[in-house]
Structure 1
């Protein structure tokens, strides 16, 4: 017999595994504190997260960047990624949010998607 709490935990783990296995179908809201998952709309119109109300670019799946096309926005992202390399920050291999490990064990957990990560090799487990 499975308790309700154990069933909920198993259902959540199965849901997260499905999301991670289908990155072209589902995305996490790009807001760091939001756990909402969404399916991109084929229309190309900006999406709005139903949980945190953030507007999301339908092409690059980041916060809507009115007046700047995706490649120009990506130039700024490139600069940020260069900064990350020198400041002990890495992107979560599952949801891509930047995470930081200040000290301690090399086993870290992403605050957004709760994925367990080896900081050294960035493999998930």
Structure 2
């Protein structure tokens, strides 16, 4: 969701748009770049509902107009009241009424451009939801509420950060065409009572098709969730470094921590042995990557031959 920056292939210095467009002959490439690198770029995934060929929007652009923001604020307030209300009576308890009153004041402060920001309010809502508890209906309402709240954010960087939080905290989105819920983390149907890994494990028990069973086992063995946005990433070869295409977080496949200068591409500082990736020992290196093991073996044979 962060705009991609073009860098000089020689010195790696960032280039402005005015500088690099002079070297692009096809205007369609420039238009595609502009489309995919808008400040508030929207991501979509295919809906997995039966017979539905629409895309599901993961994030929603901000509401800039004053009237749109006021309408969104009214919708958010109504959703929050529905979440706090008792499922059987529809009334608010003393605690729920206190939370609702405080929320109304805070939301008006945000809409009016006061001292409170959207991120503070978002964090407070998540804490309130943890206190009051959530059943399936309330989880769906909470997802709608927080998505609407994010549309009130007008700062591109803050909007991006909030959407990363949204992907990890409320991963289920409903298709506007067929109303089917999709998990943005694993791309499967919604599973409110299970994590993505628990869902795959449960399917191992019920799956009878040999090919589908083999695919499930492969996904379990070769999939991990991004530590920042929780999007499921699948890979079975390559080095330890992973660059998440959704949030841009760079992390180590071995330990799931941020990839920094202490990490090696084929060695992890948090590994017990600190050795090369065990899955890659017998693999042919990727194109452009030197075969370190072959070089070491050749050097060892030369040393033994000449008695060095």
Task: Name the TM-score, length of structure 2 as normaliser.
Answer: 0.22
* Structure (1 or 2) with the greater strand fraction: 1
